[in-house]
Structure 1
């Protein structure tokens, strides 16, 4: 009898894990509280942080799964394009027949060797559960004295509730934060009729345009080489190399009139945004220190400056919230203390039959690592790859607990899951693709070159995707690439 799996969430994570569970002979049922699939990409008010007019900050090649390319030639698809893509993906693998729409999962608990899922007045048992409910639904708002008393007629909201620029035309708007949502919203407001736009930040990040010299920046920043360098080189050298890529591509924020960031890119952070720094340079966006307090419509900043605003938008990130998990599960995961104690964001040896999808925070697009995590889960439960030993899992969990919550990078997550799933391509097997595998985009096709579910056309597909924007058109390393690669090989 086939094992049954409750998949909680029908966004990209829930859909891709269901596709791969089916391939391994398991029987997923997909629970979705919304009336349609898509997760964040539904753009439904109150259920999604995607606003009208939003486009991805990751390129179409890295915002796709390995079985289905995007239609059209848009480099950065719109939110509507991504939703359409997810519907096509669900249709391709007949996932819609397994979708339970308008079904809110209220509790997940252990029931002997099975798992009990409660929704409404119904309770069902499943052999396994995958939690794919998303981690970007509960905004993390800062504690600012007086914020509750803010009197601007546009209100104080999270970027999750931002509905577009129309309600801010002719208004003075403060945007708080330095993540991508904050910078993209600030740039949109400045271009679409706000009277004044001010960004307040705790620290200045480096800012990398989405597109540089005709190549999407995620093709340059999130490479296999970068993951290997992270494992072999001193952190200071990895920091130097990444900063070199960013600054040579976009300059440093102080050159545009923004504050000077920390010398270390790791200390400062980096955000992808095409139009933010040019808007600062033109005076369309002003940058202030962090806000200290709010009184009525007046905001006092840490430098003592005071300014009046009609609206405030907080792009200050999200906290992980999984309220439907039973208390003992939450305790094992250390959720109440703000942790997420798991082996590579996925399994816990004390919770057999439970897995998680997409519960990490990162720079870069999620589609590629999500598919690899889905394959790891499906291959583990399907017996294709051996499950990690309890000792190895507990060591990974102890390291996760010691590190605490932290941001990673798309390429680090992708390579981690690819290795666990047994699909990381070996450089020596692909001499004609070596440069693309090291310094090209981490396209989903490169993880279908070998291992379980390898595709015969994957080499040609990957070569084409690596050369799509003229970045990797031959196999000869540039002088910089050769220097970088030598530093890793010699370590």
Structure 2
């Protein structure tokens, strides 16, 4: 029975990472809001609970502390790069205290129904007490269960931040009902001792991050002699560290802007160079590395080499304890753990809302503009954190989405039209189908750097290369961390640049940047012309012109045939002088024949030919001639 009606400007559902990000920005702008959390604590999946969903006791994040943090609150310098879940929980708890967000959070408040408040609803007449009622296009009604009673919240804005890692996906195999041992989903696995799997023969279905972490725990803590991982499609397994740097530090705007077909070839060969061919370990990936979510681990290769872990293809059938794989191999197992991911479910949405949010052809797809807003309800309801990060953590994405949502509430920016949003949603679905292997987990896939750049550009917070020339190199060739979207735009941080500069730069990124700098940088040839020649006198010659010769006039056209030898002897044929002469000649050519013309195809061709020729003869050719390998140092 409903006992109470509460009015808020905004209701946030969930107090995990995404919900906290929304709460922080709502509080900054003094909104009257509430965070509704169904459990008794914060941090969502990062809060370890023995008898409930959440991380395993041994879980370490595979994203570095630089890319998995709030933009205004960095981890201490002495924190390890890949943190234990307890460290992340304490960090989130400290962030809550820092912004006094506990005062706005209601624990043990489970939202059981979210629906639009119709005018015919009896509660609508009571909403006259709501301030500025006429300014809102619609209102939302949230029915919340608190112990044995129900409370109703009414609000013009709602942020759904309940997450999509909640409803376990269970796969059925032929004969599975005959298996006498225990079959559980990975969400219920805490450690080998808690789940009583010490010394047992265990089969893991799936080869994602959870699967390889469980395999490592079964081998080390569980002392299991042989753990088997079954995978339908095989996998490309990335090491947690490459050259001493965490893997998430390597993706950059330059790398991600290249066609993924070229990028995946590069990283596949990098894996082969560091770890060996996946076929050697029986991983047998059926698709390219960037066709699906990469698996990141540091221990799997070692366990396979020591024959502690075995990789098998898909399960064909189960008969009692015996499992037959598609390659004909048969093994007996005591337990099976399903590491098969989660279905995307938001159980508390009304039927009308579900029709707007979920694709009728495939519920794995969300009909959300940029995975946040529905075209119909626009900014009145936002879905925060409903993404799958391809190359980094979700925290920075949730924070960018939260800022976008709050700026829309403040009318500082606006959404495109209904038609444009619908077209963009359809285009996103098409791109996902072409880019990734067809799987429900890939329907929410985004690259954090590119995605955050796009969202932040809507409210002017995208890192600007022109405004920040000193950071241009880092912005293009490194991951830069979460503070990069606070360098410029609204709510810029004074120390954002210093925070970005503290993010480590992997040697591979430095090498790529240096190679591009050698071959593409066209500013180097012109640097020498910024220095005035000794003969130049500004009082005599006026404004400096790089194409003008300021020495003693001695043109070849005025030299007699018999004096050519003397004229040549007066010339400086040193390499710098020849390069200078070539540069002046080409600059004069440009001023006379190119600059006066209108921009057309010939103009573009002349400019490209001029700049690349100048770059080659002035910089590249001398370097290659005198030191063939100089470009690699």
TM-score, normalising length from structure 1? 0.90
Deviation of 1:188 after TM superposition, in Å, equals 2.1
Q: What is the correspondence of 1:320-331 to structure 2 with a 5 Å cutoff?
A: 320-331=344-355
Deviation of 1:343 after TM superposition, in Å, equals 0.3
In 2: Cα distance, 1:351 partner to 1:483 partner: 50
Q: What is the correspondence of 1:5-20 to structure 2 with a 5 Å cutoff?
A: 5-20=10-25
Which structure has the greater CA radius of gyration? 2
Alignment of 1:383 onto 2:439: no
In 2: Cα distance, 1:307 partner to 1:483 partner: 56
Match of 1:345 in 2: 371
Which runs of no fewer than 5 residues in structure 1 stay unpaired?
none
From 27, 47, 50, give the equivalent of 1:42.
47
Q: In structure 2, do the counterparts of structure 1 residues 367 and 176 end up closer, same or farther at CA, with 3 Å as the change threshold?
A: same
Deviation of 1:218 after TM superposition, in Å, equals 0.3
Deviations for 1:12-40, whole angstroms, at most 9, x for unmatched residues? 00001111122233222100011011100
Alignment of 1:435 onto 2:473: yes
3-state secondary structure, aligned to 1:14: helix
From 56, 60, 75, give the equivalent of 2:61.
56
Contact 2:235 2:283 in 1 (8 A): no
Deviation of 1:56 after TM superposition, in Å, equals 0.5
In 1: Cα distance, 2:319 partner to 2:517 partner: 53
Deviations for 1:64-94, whole angstroms, at most 9, x for unmatched residues? 1111112332111111111111111111111
Match of 1:106 in 2: 112
3-state secondary structure, aligned to 2:458: helix
Deviation of 1:482 after TM superposition, in Å, equals 6.8
TM-score, normalising length from structure 2? 0.71
Q: What is the correspondence of 1:464-483 to structure 2 with a 5 Å cutoff?
A: 464-467=502-505, 477-479=513-515
3-state secondary structure, aligned to 2:336: strand
Match of 1:165 in 2: 192
Deviation of 1:264 after TM superposition, in Å, equals 2.3
Match of 1:26 in 2: 31
In 1: Cα distance, 2:23 partner to 2:520 partner: 39
In 2: Cα distance, 1:84 partner to 1:91 partner: 11
Which runs of no fewer than 5 residues in structure 2 stay unpaired?
1-6, 119-137, 434-439, 523-607, 609-633
Deviations for 1:225-248, whole angstroms, at most 9, x for unmatched residues? 23333xxx3x42233344344444
Task: With a CA cutoff of 8 Å and minimum separation of 6, indicate the structure with the bigger relative contact order.
Answer: 1
In 2: Cα distance, 1:148 partner to 1:410 partner: 41
Alignment of 1:127 onto 2:127: no
Match of 1:69 in 2: 74
In 2: Cα distance, 1:476 partner to 1:175 partner: 39
Match of 1:82 in 2: 88
Match of 1:266 in 2: 290
Aligned Cα root-mean-square deviation (Å): 2.5
In 1: Cα distance, 2:95 partner to 2:178 partner: 46
Deviations for 1:296-346, whole angstroms, at most 9, x for unmatched residues? 222111122221111111111111110100000001122564131110110
Deviation of 1:427 after TM superposition, in Å, equals 1.8
Q: What is the correspondence of 1:80-479 to structure 2 with a 5 Å cutoff?
A: 80-112=86-118, 113-120=138-145, 121-152=150-181, 155-166=182-193, 167-192=196-221, 193-220=223-250, 222-229=251-258, 233=259, 235-255=260-280, 257-262=281-286, 264-267=288-291, 270-334=294-358, 337-338=362-363, 339-352=365-378, 353-363=380-390, 364-402=392-430, 403=432, 405=440, 406=442, 407-467=445-505, 477-479=513-515
Q: In structure 2, do the counterparts of structure 1 residues 174 and 209 end up closer, same or farther at CA, with 3 Å as the change threshold?
A: same
Number of aligned residue pairs: give it.
Answer: 476
Deviation of 1:282 after TM superposition, in Å, equals 1.7
Q: In structure 2, do the counterparts of structure 1 residues 161 and 481 end up closer, same or farther at CA, with 3 Å as the change threshold?
A: farther
Q: In structure 2, do the counterparts of structure 1 residues 458 and 16 end up closer, same or farther at CA, with 3 Å as the change threshold?
A: same
Contact 2:159 2:384 in 1 (8 A): yes
Match of 2:564 in 1: none
Q: In structure 2, do the counterparts of structure 1 residues 340 and 396 end up closer, same or farther at CA, with 3 Å as the change threshold?
A: same
Q: In structure 2, do the counterparts of structure 1 residues 476 and 237 end up closer, same or farther at CA, with 3 Å as the change threshold?
A: closer
